[in-house]
């Protein structure tokens, strides 16, 4: 199962057979489905789509296939070349385009790539729209343009700079305040486009930058998911360089993690907590994160007099809930910051600027800041899926087992105990069940996760 079709887009491994992997034929088919859907959705003759990609090795090949397919449908393409997910998201409305496609498999290893699909607002498509596109791909009923009506390609490589300008213009970002603080920061760009965008932003803000893996070669020097076990090099370098902190992003720059001045992880979950602390301290309002995110955001929101709500996992679900809850900041506990004042998408550039403002105004060290927040510890584990495993029946069994606890089933099964919680859900992007737990100590979080995994194995007969 290496071709995954979901509302998150079309994701698969490069090479192999069609319909099982993201082959050139699959890339063309899904680009044609999106273009066909967009023509009907926009209801007009001439359409424009913005396209950008991360630096992964297959990016140029997939981009050429996708761009040519859209041109073949008569759609004009604004080609941003090497870009970031949030940069493409802000480019769509600025270009007055009808949609956008980001070619990135986000945190997945180098053999993966994907098509992430956007609407005219630069936001991810909803489940209903995604389902129509999958249906069109299944039917392969495409009507391509005649030769006089082919689309055009407009190349524009200035959008990372435009994106940085947009961040600098945010009312809660003051370049002079950050510059005056005299920060020194190490950046791990995992040899993708974060290595272009984040150092550029920092330099604009007067921050001294030490680059680590910032060449956009697509050869990821470590597993690109910004988790503690993958980040030994930057943790060491922050201490050696006596830097104020470190910044880590994933290949498409929508996930943001910080390393404290002592070389320890600030905690991916606490990226959103810190940025929300800064924003809520300046503007009264509400927050939203997903069911798998830390309780710490709820605590900080209530401390500032706001209301916190949880959404199903997935950016589109968080954005929908944010709009309904009038949230002024939100996101996901994997380091995804969504700040509507900028745009409704996870954005590491915005998150970096807000964090710098918080640090500049509060003073002290990043380790001290982390110690000032409610202390929760998470365990993030997974079970590999096999074709014979009935995931729905398994989740239902776990729900029944804990029916006397506070249980949410809006996205998998989340069981809220008094002192901790566990969230079980099937991933949209990988063939796994994710098991997230949170407790007041790492030992307790790991222990809860291991206990639940054993219970799942027992239910599924995997012992």
| Residues counted in the chain | 463
State which of 140, 156, 172 marks the end of a domain.
Answer: 156
Report yes or no: 439 and 296 within 8 Å, Cβ to Cβ. Answer: no
Asked if 313 and 409 sit in the same domain, the reply is: no
Do 335 and 404 belong to one domain?
A: no
pLDDT reported for residue 384: 86
pTM: 0.93
Burial of 48 (0-12, 13-18, 19+ CB in 10 A): buried
How many C-beta atoms surround the C-beta of residue 114 within 10 A? 27
330-372: pLDDT as tens digits: 999 889 999 999 999 999 999 999 999 999 999 999 999 999 9
Gap between the Cα atoms of 385 and 399, Å rounded: 19
- The per-residue pLDDT for 455 is 92
Q: pLDDT value at position 7?
A: 65
Q: What range does the domain containing 404 cover? A: 377-460
Q: Are residues 399 and 351 in the same domain?
A: no
| Pair 397, 449 in one domain | yes
Tell me what pLDDT residue 324 has.
Answer: 96
Q: Is the dihedral of CA 422, 273, 257, 201 positive or negative?
A: positive
Q: 13: closest CA among 458, 403, 430?
A: 430
Residues 36 and 124 in one domain: yes
Domain shared by 357 and 390, yes or no: no
226/304 same-domain check: yes
**Residue in 92, 103, 115, 112 with CA at minimum distance from that of residue 252:** 103
Token pair in block for residue 336 = 């995804």
Evaluated on CA atoms 176, 177, 180, 186, the torsion sign reads negative
Catalytically active residues are: 106
Which residues sit opposite 282 in a β-bridge? none
Reduced to 3 states (helix: H, G, I; strand: E, B; else coil), residue 119 is coil
Specify whether 254 is located in the same domain as 296. yes
Q: Are residues 206 and 353 in the same domain?
A: yes
The two three-digit tokens of residue 230, written as one number: 């993958």
Q: Which regions of the chain are under pLDDT 50?
A: 1
Q: Note whether 243 and 358 are same-domain residues.
A: yes
Domain count of the chain? 3
User: Domain boundary at 372, 400, 422, which?
Assistant: 372
Dist CA 54 CA 102 (whole Å) = 8
pLDDT for the residue numbered 8? 66
What's the CATH code of the domain at 404? 3.30.310.50
CATH number of the domain enclosing 283: 3.40.120.10
pLDDT of residue 6: 75
pLDDT at 432: 86
* Residues 100 and 248 placed together within one structural domain of the fold: no
pLDDT in the model for residue 252: 97
318 shares a domain with 227: yes
In sequence order, what are the residues at sequence separation of 6 or more whose Cβ sits closer than 8 angstroms to the Cβ of residue 39? 47, 73, 75
- Round to whole Å and give the CA distance between 401 and 70: 50
pLDDT tens-digit readout, 425-447: 988 777 789 999 999 999 999 99
11-34 residue pLDDT tens: 999 999 999 999 999 999 999 999
Domain boundary among 372, 406, 434: 372
């Amino acid at each position: 199962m290496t071709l995954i079709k979901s509302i998150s887009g079309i994701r698969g491994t490069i090479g192999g057979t069609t319909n099982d992997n993201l082959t050139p034929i699959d890339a063309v088919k899904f680009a044609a489905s999106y273009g066909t859907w967009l023509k009907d959705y926009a209801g007009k003759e001439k359409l424009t789509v913005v396209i950008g990609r991360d630096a992964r090795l297959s990016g140029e090949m997939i981009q050429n296939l996708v761009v040519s397919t859209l041109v073949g449908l008569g759609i004009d393409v604004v080609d941003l070349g090497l870009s970031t997910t949030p940069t493409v998201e802000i480019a769509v409305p600025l270009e007055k385009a009808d949609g956008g496609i980001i070619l990135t498999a986000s945190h997945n290893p180098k053999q993966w790539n994907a098509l992430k699909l956007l609407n005219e607002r630069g936001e991810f498509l909803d489940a209903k729209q995604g389902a129509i596109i999958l249906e069109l791909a299944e039917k392969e009923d495409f009507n391509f343009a005649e030769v006089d009506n082919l689309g055009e390609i407009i190349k524009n490589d200035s959008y990372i700079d435009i994106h940085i300008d947009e961040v600098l213009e945010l009312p809660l970002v003051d370049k002079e305040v950050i510059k005056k603080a005299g920060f020194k920061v190490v950046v791990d760009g995992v040899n993708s486009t974060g290595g272009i965008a984040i150092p550029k932003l920092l330099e604009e803000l007067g921050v001294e930058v030490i680059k680590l893996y910032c060449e956009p070669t697509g050869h990821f020097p470590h597993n690109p998911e910004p988790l503690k076990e993958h980040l030994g090099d930057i943790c060491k370098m922050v201490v050696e360089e006596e830097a104020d902190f470190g910044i880590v992003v994933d290949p498409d720059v929508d996930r943001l993690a910080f390393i404290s001045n002592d070389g320890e992880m600030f905690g991916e979950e606490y990226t959103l907590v810190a940025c929300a602390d800064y924003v809520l301290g300046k503007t009264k309002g509400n927050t939203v994160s997903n069911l798998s995110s830390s309780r710490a955001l709820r605590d900080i929101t209530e401390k500032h007099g706001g209301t916190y709500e949880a959404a199903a996992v997935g950016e589109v679900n968080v954005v929908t809930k944010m709009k309904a809850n009038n949230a002024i900041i939100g996101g996901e506990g994997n380091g995804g910051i969504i700040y509507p004042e900028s745009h409704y998408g996870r954005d590491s550039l915005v998150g970096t600027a807000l964090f710098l403002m918080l640090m500049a105004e509060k003073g002290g060290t990043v380790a001290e800041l982390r110690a000032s927040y409610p202390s929760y510890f998470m365990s993030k584990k997974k079970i590999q899926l096999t074709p014979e495993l009935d995931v729905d029946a398994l989740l239902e069994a776990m729900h029944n087992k804990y029916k006397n606890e506070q249980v949410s089933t809006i996205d998998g099964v989340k069981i809220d105990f008094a002192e901790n919680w566990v969230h079980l859900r099937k991933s949209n992007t990988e063939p796994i069940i994710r098991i997230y737990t949170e407790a007041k100590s790492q030992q307790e979080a790991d222990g809860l996760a291991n206990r639940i995994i054993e219970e799942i194995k027992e239910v599924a007969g995997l012992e």
